[in-house]
Amino acid sequence: MKILLINPPEERALQCYTAPLGFLWLSSVLEANGFETSVIDGDLMRYDFKELLVRVREENPQIVGIIATSHTSYHAMQTARLIKHEFPTTTIVVGGAHFSLPAEDTLRHSPGWRLLPCFLLS
């Protein structure tokens, strides 16, 4: 099974960049357990959403994981919606502190999403 992990692009000046170490760790654990993984750091690569969708199409994953913090939650939700629209059979998993702690608020703004422990799926 192919899993694509995405750090979503943001529309801001890149003043201070922090590598998504949690995603890199998750990728290595998944690979050690037999999954094929790829990581796209849309923030570092300064992708717009069109470029991101091209990369997703190239990777052709069965599952897309998107990380989000509170300040990136809007971009993560927008990324999830765009990917789901373009690739309706792909499972989308959105995780991170913002989606785990105020989960009810996230669900209220994301009709059709389901809550699992620590994750939201579309």
pLDDT digits (tens, 9 = 90+) for 38-95: 999 887 888 888 999 999 999 999 999 998 777 777 788 889 889 999 999 999 888 7
Closest-CA residue to 76 (of 84, 66, 85): 66
Give me the pLDDT at residue 106, please. Answer: 60
CATH number, domain of 107, equals 3.40.50.280
Closest-CA residue to 41 (of 31, 27, 29): 27
Flag whether pLDDT at 6 surpasses 80. Answer: yes
Give me the pLDDT at residue 119, please. Answer: 46
Flag whether pLDDT at 11 surpasses 80. Answer: no
pLDDT, one tens digit per residue, over 99-121 is: 666 556 666 655 565 544 444 44
Give me the pLDDT at residue 45, please. Answer: 84
Flag whether pLDDT at 25 surpasses 60. Answer: yes
Tally the domains of the chain: 1
Q: How many CB atoms lie within 10 A of CB 35?
A: 14
Domain of 34, in residue numbers: 2-10+18-121
